[in-house]
Chains A and B, each alone.
Chain A
């Protein structure tokens, strides 16, 4: 599965489709609110979907490690969390670029911005924790437990708290529920780019993670032989 090429090619095709048709697809006018920046739906939003997916894979392997402490599960958990964090940071940066032109400044303390930043800091602490324990089996067990906590913190910081207050995010006014983009603003044509974009970016994230996992496994094999 890791080494087969079909899903890597699929990722390439989907992303090329996203990066071409994403610029050409007809977008709604929305009384000039977002203009062309509504196309960020195909680039900024999938970063968060990708991050969320990679964090889910990471916690699954953390739980599997706790049930059955194989070192390879720890490697999986670590590398998926690492790539997830990279995508999260990309999401934060791309969001700030967009916000600079849409909201007037890159950081407005929007509940979603703050929540995402807190969530990412909690995941950063995962790597701090790992770096501070030298004993390998202890490090793996501690970080698996912490991984579950970090994942649990995604719910209040990203899914619940930002939705309880108004947000500057599109679709965040009043009782619209703050989904990130008002569903009434997206057209079926936009969704035909959005969904492939999500899948393409997620597959890319998985690919990068598996490369690191394979390298790590290789390194451990060499070390165990030496």
Chain B
């Protein structure tokens, strides 16, 4: 079936499906940042435990 000749019916299929790539990239960036925030908070916890003892 040739989808390319059909009229795009929704946002994700319009504009040569560029929004699909955009969503993928956004998910990657969000995931990366969640991971970094997690790391940051973990290190902060370590540092805090450190200052509590001294």
Which residues of A does B touch, CB under 8 Å?
A: 3, 8, 12, 15-16, 19-20, 23-24, 204, 207-208, 211, 214-215, 218, 221-222
Smallest beta-carbon distance A208→chain B, Å: 7
Count how many pairs of residues, one from A and one from B, have CB atoms less than 8 Å apart in the complex. Answer: 42
Check if A20 sits within 8 Å of B50, measured CB to CB. no
Indicate if B12 sits at the interface (CB-CB under 8 A). Answer: no
Give the complex CA separation of A195 and B43 in angstroms: 31
Check if A8 sits within 8 Å of B43, measured CB to CB. no
Give the complex CA separation of A149 and B47 in angstroms: 34
Q: Which residues of B contact A214 (CB under 8 A)?
A: 43, 47
Smallest beta-carbon distance B33→chain A, Å: 5
Check if A218 sits within 8 Å of B21, measured CB to CB. no
- A20-B44 in contact given A208-B36, A218-B50 (Cβ < 8 Å): no
Give the complex CA separation of A14 and B22 in angstroms: 15
A12, A204, A211, A218: the one contacting B40 at CB < 8 Å is A211
Closest to B24 in A: A19
Give the complex CA separation of A16 and B34 in angstroms: 13
Beyond the given pairs A15-B29, A218-B47, 8 more chain A to chain B contacts, judged by CB atoms under 8 angstroms and listed by A's residue number, are A8-B36, A16-B29, A24-B18, A211-B40, A211-B43, A215-B46, A218-B46, A221-B50
